[in-house]
Protein backbone atom coordinates (compact mmCIF):
# COMPACT_ATOMS: atom_id res chain seq x y z
CA UNK A 1 0.00 0.00 0.00
CA UNK A 2 1.22 3.51 -0.75
CA UNK A 3 1.64 5.97 2.09
CA UNK A 4 0.51 8.84 -0.14
CA UNK A 5 -1.57 8.69 -3.31
CA UNK A 6 -2.60 11.75 -5.21
CA UNK A 7 -4.90 11.34 -8.21
CA UNK A 8 -5.70 14.10 -10.67
CA UNK A 9 -5.42 16.72 -8.00
CA UNK A 10 -6.57 20.17 -9.06
CA UNK A 11 -6.63 23.36 -7.04
CA UNK A 12 -8.16 26.55 -8.34
CA UNK A 13 -7.80 29.63 -6.15
CA UNK A 14 -10.51 32.28 -6.55
CA UNK A 15 -13.10 32.28 -9.32
CA UNK A 16 -14.11 34.00 -12.54
CA UNK A 17 -11.57 36.38 -14.06
CA UNK A 18 -9.22 36.13 -11.14
CA UNK A 19 -9.15 32.33 -10.91
CA UNK A 20 -5.67 30.80 -10.66
CA UNK A 21 -5.15 27.12 -11.40
CA UNK A 22 -2.31 26.25 -9.03
CA UNK A 23 -2.54 22.47 -9.53
CA UNK A 24 -3.86 20.80 -12.64
CA UNK A 25 -4.48 17.05 -12.58
CA UNK A 26 -1.38 16.22 -10.58
CA UNK A 27 -0.91 12.53 -9.78
CA UNK A 28 1.79 10.76 -7.79
CA UNK A 29 2.38 7.95 -5.32
CA UNK A 30 4.91 7.67 -2.53
CA UNK A 31 5.80 4.43 -0.78
CA UNK A 32 6.52 4.00 2.90
CA UNK A 33 10.24 4.46 3.54
CA UNK A 34 10.70 6.72 0.52
CA UNK A 35 12.25 10.19 0.62
CA UNK A 36 11.04 12.25 -2.33
CA UNK A 37 11.61 15.80 -3.53
CA UNK A 38 9.07 18.11 -5.07
CA UNK A 39 11.17 20.37 -7.25
CA UNK A 40 10.03 23.26 -9.41
CA UNK A 41 10.17 26.99 -10.07
CA UNK A 42 8.49 29.57 -7.91
CA UNK A 43 4.73 29.55 -8.38
CA UNK A 44 4.62 26.08 -9.94
CA UNK A 45 2.30 24.69 -7.26
CA UNK A 46 4.67 22.87 -4.88
CA UNK A 47 3.33 24.35 -1.66
CA UNK A 48 -0.24 23.94 -2.84
CA UNK A 49 0.44 20.25 -3.43
CA UNK A 50 2.10 19.78 -0.05
CA UNK A 51 -0.61 21.61 1.88
CA UNK A 52 -3.36 19.66 0.10
CA UNK A 53 -1.68 16.40 1.11
CA UNK A 54 -1.24 17.85 4.61
CA UNK A 55 -4.99 18.52 4.89
CA UNK A 56 -4.44 22.26 5.23
CA UNK A 57 -5.60 23.36 1.80
CA UNK A 58 -8.77 21.88 0.33
CA UNK A 59 -8.36 20.66 -3.25
CA UNK A 60 -10.94 21.63 -5.85
CA UNK A 61 -10.94 18.25 -7.60
CA UNK A 62 -9.19 14.93 -7.42
CA UNK A 63 -8.25 12.52 -4.67
CA UNK A 64 -5.81 12.34 -1.80
CA UNK A 65 -5.36 8.97 -0.11
CA UNK A 66 -3.20 8.79 3.01
CA UNK A 67 -2.14 5.41 4.31
CA UNK A 68 -5.17 3.82 2.60
CA UNK A 69 -7.70 6.39 3.85
CA UNK A 70 -9.32 8.62 1.24
CA UNK A 71 -9.26 12.09 2.75
CA UNK A 72 -10.12 14.18 -0.29
CA UNK A 73 -12.31 13.23 -3.20
CA UNK A 74 -13.44 16.39 -4.97
CA UNK A 75 -13.00 18.37 -1.74
CA UNK A 76 -12.62 16.86 1.73
CA UNK A 77 -14.47 13.62 2.28
CA UNK A 78 -17.62 14.51 4.24
CA UNK A 79 -17.50 13.69 7.92
CA UNK A 80 -13.73 13.22 8.05
CA UNK A 81 -12.02 14.56 11.15
CA UNK A 82 -9.19 16.44 9.43
CA UNK A 83 -7.52 17.49 12.68
CA UNK A 84 -7.42 13.93 13.94
CA UNK A 85 -6.00 12.52 10.70
CA UNK A 86 -3.45 15.35 10.59
CA UNK A 87 -2.40 14.74 14.18
CA UNK A 88 -2.13 10.98 13.84
CA UNK A 89 -0.72 10.50 10.37
CA UNK A 90 1.19 13.63 9.41
CA UNK A 91 4.29 15.41 10.66
CA UNK A 92 5.23 18.86 9.33
CA UNK A 93 8.66 20.42 9.08
CA UNK A 94 8.87 24.04 7.96
CA UNK A 95 11.71 26.17 6.64
CA UNK A 96 11.77 28.33 9.69
CA UNK A 97 11.46 25.75 12.39
CA UNK A 98 8.50 27.40 14.18
CA UNK A 99 9.66 26.35 17.62
CA UNK A 100 7.82 27.90 20.54
CA UNK A 101 10.33 30.42 21.96
CA UNK A 102 9.37 30.14 25.64
CA UNK A 103 9.61 26.34 25.73
CA UNK A 104 12.82 24.30 25.88
CA UNK A 105 13.79 21.84 23.16
CA UNK A 106 12.31 19.02 25.22
CA UNK A 107 9.06 20.91 25.90
CA UNK A 108 8.70 21.80 22.22
CA UNK A 109 8.71 18.09 21.37
CA UNK A 110 6.49 17.22 24.32
CA UNK A 111 3.73 19.54 23.09
CA UNK A 112 3.21 17.37 20.01
CA UNK A 113 2.91 14.26 22.17
CA UNK A 114 0.63 15.76 24.79
CA UNK A 115 -1.78 17.00 22.10
CA UNK A 116 -2.20 13.32 21.18
CA UNK A 117 -3.08 12.48 24.76
CA UNK A 118 0.22 11.16 26.12
CA UNK A 119 0.68 11.82 29.85
CA UNK A 120 3.33 14.44 30.64
CA UNK A 121 5.81 11.99 32.17
CA UNK A 122 5.69 9.60 29.22
CA UNK A 123 5.84 12.52 26.77
CA UNK A 124 8.90 13.92 28.54
CA UNK A 125 10.72 10.60 28.37
CA UNK A 126 9.94 10.07 24.70
CA UNK A 127 10.92 13.67 23.86
CA UNK A 128 14.34 13.14 25.44
CA UNK A 129 14.81 9.84 23.57
CA UNK A 130 13.95 11.52 20.27
CA UNK A 131 16.29 14.42 20.91
CA UNK A 132 19.07 12.03 21.90
CA UNK A 133 18.56 10.08 18.68
CA UNK A 134 19.07 13.35 16.81
CA UNK A 135 22.29 14.07 18.72
CA UNK A 136 20.66 16.76 20.82
CA UNK A 137 20.89 15.04 24.19
CA UNK A 138 22.97 17.94 25.48
CA UNK A 139 20.37 20.51 24.38
CA UNK A 140 17.14 19.15 25.89
CA UNK A 141 16.86 22.03 28.38
CA UNK A 142 17.92 24.76 25.94
CA UNK A 143 15.57 27.47 24.66
CA UNK A 144 15.32 27.99 20.86
CA UNK A 145 17.13 31.35 20.99
CA UNK A 146 20.27 29.54 22.16
CA UNK A 147 20.20 26.79 19.52
CA UNK A 148 22.02 26.99 16.18
CA UNK A 149 20.04 26.83 12.92
CA UNK A 150 20.93 23.16 12.44
CA UNK A 151 20.04 22.30 16.03
CA UNK A 152 16.70 24.12 15.80
CA UNK A 153 15.86 22.25 12.62
CA UNK A 154 16.67 18.95 14.33
CA UNK A 155 14.36 19.85 17.23
CA UNK A 156 11.65 20.61 14.66
CA UNK A 157 12.31 17.21 13.07
CA UNK A 158 12.06 15.51 16.47
CA UNK A 159 8.72 17.27 16.99
CA UNK A 160 7.44 16.24 13.55
CA UNK A 161 8.41 12.63 14.28
CA UNK A 162 7.08 12.50 17.78
CA UNK A 163 3.91 10.61 16.94
CA UNK A 164 5.60 8.34 14.38
CA UNK A 165 3.59 9.76 11.48
CA UNK A 166 3.20 7.72 8.31
CA UNK A 167 3.73 10.85 6.26
CA UNK A 168 6.22 13.63 6.87
CA UNK A 169 5.84 16.83 4.85
CA UNK A 170 8.68 19.32 4.76
CA UNK A 171 8.71 22.74 3.10
CA UNK A 172 12.27 23.84 2.31
CA UNK A 173 13.78 22.25 5.43
CA UNK A 174 17.38 22.88 4.36
CA UNK A 175 17.01 26.35 2.84
CA UNK A 176 18.10 28.21 5.97
CA UNK A 177 21.06 25.88 6.65
CA UNK A 178 24.63 25.83 5.40
CA UNK A 179 25.61 22.96 3.08
CA UNK A 180 26.99 20.73 5.81
CA UNK A 181 24.00 21.09 8.12
CA UNK A 182 21.67 20.75 5.15
CA UNK A 183 23.33 17.48 4.15
CA UNK A 184 23.13 16.22 7.73
CA UNK A 185 19.41 16.94 7.76
CA UNK A 186 19.00 15.02 4.49
CA UNK A 187 20.90 12.00 5.82
CA UNK A 188 18.78 12.10 8.92
CA UNK A 189 15.51 12.31 6.96
CA UNK A 190 16.53 9.30 4.87
CA UNK A 191 17.42 7.30 7.97
CA UNK A 192 14.09 8.20 9.57
CA UNK A 193 12.11 7.31 6.45
CA UNK A 194 13.65 3.86 6.45
CA UNK A 195 13.56 3.22 10.19
CA UNK A 196 10.01 4.45 10.72
CA UNK A 197 8.78 3.27 7.33
CA UNK A 198 7.43 6.78 6.75
CA UNK A 199 6.98 8.56 3.45
CA UNK A 200 8.83 11.88 3.47
CA UNK A 201 7.99 14.55 0.90
CA UNK A 202 10.20 17.59 0.73
CA UNK A 203 9.48 20.75 -1.25
CA UNK A 204 12.81 22.23 -2.22
CA UNK A 205 14.60 24.70 -4.43
CA UNK A 206 17.84 23.51 -2.98
CA UNK A 207 19.81 21.86 -5.79
CA UNK A 208 22.68 21.18 -3.37
CA UNK A 209 20.48 18.54 -1.72
CA UNK A 210 19.04 16.80 -4.77
CA UNK A 211 21.32 13.78 -4.64
CA UNK A 212 19.99 12.82 -1.20
CA UNK A 213 16.51 11.90 -2.47
CA UNK A 214 15.24 8.52 -3.68
CA UNK A 215 12.98 10.13 -6.25
CA UNK A 216 12.35 13.58 -7.60
CA UNK A 217 9.08 14.94 -8.94
CA UNK A 218 9.46 17.95 -11.21
CA UNK A 219 6.50 20.31 -10.97
CA UNK A 220 5.76 22.77 -13.78
CA UNK A 221 2.65 24.92 -14.05
CA UNK A 222 0.73 22.81 -11.55
CA UNK A 223 1.54 19.52 -13.26
CA UNK A 224 3.92 16.72 -12.46
CA UNK A 225 6.12 17.26 -15.49
CA UNK A 226 8.53 14.44 -14.76
CA UNK A 227 9.75 11.90 -12.30
CA UNK A 228 13.35 10.78 -11.78
CA UNK A 229 14.81 8.02 -9.68
CA UNK A 230 18.01 8.89 -7.95
CA UNK A 231 20.04 5.73 -8.27
CA UNK A 232 22.93 7.22 -6.36
CA UNK A 233 20.71 7.67 -3.32
CA UNK A 234 19.29 4.17 -3.36
CA UNK A 235 22.65 2.38 -3.76
Ligand X SMILES: Nc1ncnc2c1ncn2[C@@H]1O[C@H](COP(=O)(O)OP(=O)(O)OP(=O)(O)O)[C@@H](O)[C@H]1O
Q: Which is nearer to ligand X, 43 or 226 (CB)?
A: 43
Q: Which is nearer to ligand X, 26 or 162 (CB)?
A: 26
Q: Are the beta carbons of 110 and 123 closer than 8 angstroms?
A: yes
CB of 56 to ligand X, least distance (A): 11
Query: Running DSSP on this structure, what letter comes out for residue 32?
Result: T
CB of 11 to ligand X, least distance (A): 8
Supply the angle between the helices 149-161 and 179-196 in degrees, to the nearest 10.
10
CB of 172 to ligand X, least distance (A): 8
Supply the angle between the helices 120-133 and 105-115 in degrees, to the nearest 10.
130
Q: Are the beta carbons of 185 and 157 closer than 8 angstroms?
A: yes
C-alpha torsion sign, points 179, 33, 160, 11: positive
Q: Which is nearer to ligand X, 107 or 213 (CB)?
A: 213
Q: Which is nearer to ligand X, 114 or 218 (CB)?
A: 218
Q: Which is nearer to ligand X, 20 or 100 (CB)?
A: 20
Q: Are the beta carbons of 152 and 109 closer than 8 angstroms?
A: no
Q: What residue ranges bind ligand X (CB under 6 A)?
A: 13-14, 20, 22, 40, 42-48
Give dist(CA 205, CA 31) in Å, integer: 22
Query: Running DSSP on this structure, what letter comes out for residue 163?
Result: T
CB of 78 to ligand X, least distance (A): 23
Q: Which is nearer to ligand X, 132 or 172 (CB)?
A: 172
Q: Is 26 exposed, middle or buried (0-12, 13-18, 19+ CB in 10 A)?
A: buried
Amino acid sequence: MYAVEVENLTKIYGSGNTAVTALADASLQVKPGELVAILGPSGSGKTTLLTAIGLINEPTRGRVILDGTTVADGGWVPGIDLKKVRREKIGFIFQSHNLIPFLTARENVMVALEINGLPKRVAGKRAVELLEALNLGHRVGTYPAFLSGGESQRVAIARALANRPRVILADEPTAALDTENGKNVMVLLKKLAVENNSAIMVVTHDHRMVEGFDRIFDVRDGRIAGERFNHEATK
